[in-house]
Amino acid sequence: MKNLKLGIFGFGCVGQGLYHVLQQSNAINSEIVKICIKDLNKPRPLDKSYFTNQKDDLLQNDDIDVIVELIDDAEAAFSIVSTAMNNGKSVVSANKKMIAEHMEELLALQEKNKVSFLYEASCCASIPIIRNLEEYYDNDLLTSLEGIFNGSTNFILTKLLTGGQTFDEVLKEAQNLGFAESDPTLDVEGIDPKYKLCILLFHAFGLIAKPDDIFNYGISKINTFDINYAQRHNYSIKLISKCRIVDEKIEAYCLPTFLPNDAVLSQTNNEYNAVILETAFAESQLLYGKGAGDKPTGSAVLSDISALNHDYKYEYKKNARNHGKLALCEDFKLRLYVRYNDSTPPLEDFESIEEKYASKQGNFLVGTIQLKHLKHSNWINEASISLIVLNN
């Protein structure tokens, strides 16, 4: 087994999580050579000799075999990753935005330089979903994939439905626990799980989709009126990312969804993630685990490092088989709950309206709408509008 020499970019939550799980693991034959950070004066749990603020101390270091990229800036991360691969180094990354936005370029860099690029930690933290899609589900006919891909929003929604707190109070708690960033926009607006859905779409069906091609809508507008509706109907609310094949087209979205309280995903609470896979032979299967936190994410990075000890690479067999055969579509229907204040959404956008309710506390309608009409409408951006899929 190789003794891998690691160069790490970033030593925040995930970087420190990796350091701790690496220290506690006896099975991984690797060592940290250098860590690139921004602030050399910040106290660290390692000797100062490990740290540098010069990226070339890692990228141009012949003693380093593997670059581990764990920073927040997606464009800076792409520069680091592409330089590393061009220098013949394999790379492990947790940067879902960078991967989703640059998938085609990253594939070409791997092929050109004959190196491995692994990124299990980019999707659902401790859940080994990418490796399973690459290996276990390669020979089974996968028809759909859906789940809770963001631990921050799941923590917030769990607390909102059970704790009687406001959105701002629960968000603050999530930030204090390290589940949400100081700027939570990527999480609460459904952007982070959309990046993950792009990556999983590729490993599930071989389709490269740009993030802008997938419709997302977050949870930041959910209020007590929506919570009361859920409780009256014995629903939970979950931010669901979903994709499925229908007649060689793929339906995909990331939307808050009402689920019956006895549904499998309704039992996934706090910072936990879950993925449900539907296949022709194995039928329905569930993967479940922590989707946020330093050690769960660090463990996924460690798993990729361990795989590199055995020269593992993604083979991207579904991309080779399905390239050009599948495409995203927008002409499918959603059953939708829409809460609004004074101005009723344009009813002509809906194919049918099955319920409409008005009161001093708030108004809502339940109707069926095609995704293309929803995605390209203006009224969904109004502050008083809240959208939640009715998944039954």
Active site residues: 196
Three-class secondary structure of residue 124 per DSSP: coil
Task: Give the Cα separation of 305 and 67 in Å (integer).
Answer: 10
CA angle 337, 342, 347 (to 5 degrees): 50
Alpha helices in the chain (DSSP H): 13-24, 56-59, 74-86, 96-101, 103-113, 129-134, 151-163, 167-176, 185-188, 191-205, 224-232, 294-308, 317-322, 371-375
**Burial (0-12, 13-18, 19+ Cβ within 10 Å), 40:** exposed
Distant-in-sequence contacts of 209-215, Cβ < 8 A, 24+ apart: 209/252, 209/328, 210/100, 210/101, 211/97, 211/100, 211/101, 213/328, 214/252, 214/253, 214/254, 214/328, 215/253, 215/254, 215/255, 215/330, 215/371, 215/374, 215/375
Contact between residue 95 and residue 79 where contact means Cβ atoms under 8 Å apart: no
CA atoms within 13 A on the CB side of 119: 24
* Separation of alpha carbons 107 and 116, rounded Å: 10
Whether residue 126 contacts residue 289, with contact meaning beta carbons closer than 8 Å, is answered with: yes
Q: At what angle do helices 224-232 and 151-163 cross, to 10 degrees?
A: 70
The three-state secondary structure class of 306 is helix
CB 175 within 8 A of CB 210: no
Q: How far apart are CA 304 and CA 294, in angstroms?
A: 16
DSSP assigned state of 152: H
Structure tokens at 3: 């003794």
Q: Which has the closest alpha carbon to 177: 161, 159, 164?
A: 159
Q: What is the dihedral of CA 182, 187, 189, 190, to 10 degrees?
A: 170
